[in-house]
Amino acid sequence: MPLRRIEDRIKRRTARIGVIGLGYVGLPLAVEFGKAGFRVTGFEINEKRTATLNRGRSYIQDVPTREVRDLVQAGRLRATLDFDELRSMDVVDICVPTPLRKTRDPDVSYILAAVHEIAPRLRRGQLIVLESTTYPGTTDELVLPMLQRDSWQIGRDFFLAFSPERVDPGNPTYQTQNIPKVVGGVTPACSRAAAALYATVVERVVPVTSTQVAEMVKLLENTFRSVNIGLVNEIALMCDKMKIDVWEVIDAASTKPFGFMPFYPGPGLGGHCIPIDPFYLSWKARQSGFEARFIELAGQINGNMPYHVVHRVREALNSRKKSVRGSKVLLLGMAYKSDIDDVRESPSLDIMEILEKEGARVSFSDPYVDWIEHAGKRLKGLPLRPGVLRSADCVVIATAHKAVDYALVAKHATTVVDSRNVMKGRRTRGVFRL
């Protein structure tokens, strides 16, 4: 019986596991499977990633090179560009990007491309799991029809499930193995097979009744954050007009031991999930005839925060009788959040673009980001030195990296726009907070 066979191979660690997409989600997952004793093959279209991994080196901050090297040397982890090897896999995990189009519609082309590679190579007894964040219905409505064969029955001849990734880059406490894993299969047998798989690498598996529930879980989690950040950003804008210290308000409200959870304002949302996932949900809602006004409004507020930061830069420069045009602005932090090197959807990129359109000369310094691709050019970061700080007409703190010496900033920067409240208690003169 195929179900018992796949469960037995998983239990004995003889199942061959393939992971399509070796990025921030796929590589940590592949490493965990390798550490659990499986032989793992990563499937990539990026030759550089493939070569780097096969040399035993990691290119993801949260995955130590030591772990990759040990697994590669032990023959439990390798990468390939040859998708024909999918035929020999017992399990295939899809971990590809799901961006938005410019029209803010879901772009599932990477998912479809991955399934297009799997479909002609699918064999009886294989377990396929989609981890890429997407709208409810993707697994059943798009993926399943591409894999279905006339003589095959889902849940008997092959297995298909959805299990949302919950990676939090840079989080030292919660990583793949200790984050509960939600699993929803097309059939109960599919759920059972996927749950057996993840039970080998995570501390807790949370089965749900369908793929749609599992898909909705991830969207709820990230929409929850987006909406609450949107609320506190609106409160911050309101407090700015009323000359009230929003940071003091949040600190005081946080003393309530029930019914309140602190969220903090900032220059906007970044990363692959929180700025994008809520629009997947609102798009799907529109297809069902429902208008998700709350979600859309939060997205608008968060999307406008880079403009508010630039507004504060104008005010800061005006206080010194300077204009934005021609001024030198130093951005501290290009990563979308603290202590990581990921610049995907970073609000710092938007702030840089807006300032440059207004004529500012913008540079950046980030202890985790050496360079960025910007306006068709490769822009190198500056070292955080006294001379660099003194030469800037305005320093904008966009990311609260712990590795940054803010005492140095307080001592040498003439004017600071602090969007993260890291200058609290260091100095007040010349500091403009969000």
Q: Same domain for 169 and 252?
A: no
* Rounded Cα–Cα distance for residues 163 and 207 (Å): 9
Local confidence band at 337 (pLDDT 50, 70, 90 cut-offs): very high
What single-letter amino acid sits at 83? F
Q: What is the dihedral of CA 344, 48, 68, 201, to 10 degrees?
A: 60
Question: Does a structural domain hold residue 223?
Answer: no
Amino acid identity of residue 346, one-letter, is: S
Range name among 100-104, 153-157, 214-218, 316-320 with the lowest pLDDT average? 100-104
Range of the domain at 412: 229-433
pLDDT at 102 over 90: no
Do 276 and 139 reside in the same domain of the chain? no
Please state which of the ranges 224-233, 239-248, 274-283, 365-374 shows the lowest mean pLDDT.
274-283
pLDDT at 324 over 90: yes
Res 275 pLDDT > 90: no
Give the pLDDT confidence score for residue 170 in this predicted structure. 85
More confident: 35 or 278: 35
Least confident of 83-87, 262-266, 273-277, 407-411: 273-277
Rounded to the nearest 5°, which phi and psi values hold at 95? -130, 60
Mean pLDDT value of segment 69-86: 98
User: Looking at the 3D structure of the chain, how many domains does it have?
Assistant: 2
Rounded CA-CA distance 419/432 in Å is 8
Q: Is pLDDT at 74 greater than 90 in this prediction? A: yes
Predicted local confidence at residue 100, as pLDDT: 87
Q: Would the pLDDT of 214 be above 90?
A: yes
Q: Which of 176, 208, 240 is the last residue of a domain?
A: 208
pLDDT in tens, 165-200: 998 888 889 988 999 999 999 999 999 999 999 999
User: Do 428 and 319 have their domain in common?
Assistant: yes
Let me know if residue 267 belongs to a domain.
yes
Cβ atoms 80, 72 nearer than 8 A: no
Q: pLDDT tens across 367-399, in order?
A: 999 999 988 889 999 999 999 999 999 999 999
Query: Is residue 273 predicted with pLDDT exceeding 90?
Result: no
Mean pLDDT over 119-143 rounds to: 97
Q: Strands 91-94 and 77-80, how do they pair? A: unpaired
Locate tokens 């822009």: which residue?
379
- One domain for residues 140 and 264: no
pTM of the entire structure?
Answer: 0.93
pLDDT of 376 reads 86
Q: What average pLDDT score do residues 339-359 get?
A: 96
Is residue 239 one of the residues assigned to a domain?
Answer: yes
- Do 248 and 367 lie in one domain? The reply is yes
Which pLDDT value is given to residue 188? 98
Mean pLDDT of 42-59: 97
Residue with tokens 């499937």: 43
Q: Which residues are catalytic?
A: 273
Digit-coded pLDDT (tens) for 287-303 = 889 999 999 999 999 99
- Look up residue 83 and give its DSSP letter: G
Q: Does the residue 214 lie in any domain?
A: no
In this structure, are 305 and 177 located in the same domain? no
Examine residue 221 and state whether it is found in any structural domain, yes or no.
no
State the pLDDT at residue 190: 98
Residue 295 resides in a domain:
yes
Question: At 408, is the pLDDT very low, low, confident or very high (cuts 50, 70, 90)?
Answer: very high
pLDDT (0 to 100) of residue 428: 74
Residues 143 and 12 in one domain: yes
Work out the mean pLDDT of the chain and round it to a whole number.
Answer: 95
Predicted pLDDT at 325: 98
- Residue 137's pLDDT band (cuts 50, 70, 90): very high
pLDDT value at position 103? 77
Rounded CA-CA distance 174/430 in Å is 38
Q: Are residues 301 and 337 in the same domain?
A: yes
CATH number at residue 56: 3.40.50.720
Q: How confident is the model at residue 146 (pLDDT cuts 50, 70, 90)?
A: very high
State percent of the chain over pLDDT 70: 100
The length of the chain in residues reads 434
* 213 lies in some domain: no
Do 105 and 190 reside in the same domain of the chain? yes
* Whether 182 and 260 share a structural domain: no
Residue 201 shares a structural domain with residue 257: no
Check whether residue 191 and residue 236 sit in a common domain. Answer: no
In a domain, 217, yes or no: no
- Domain end residue (candidates: 142, 175, 208): 208
- Res 76: pLDDT: 98
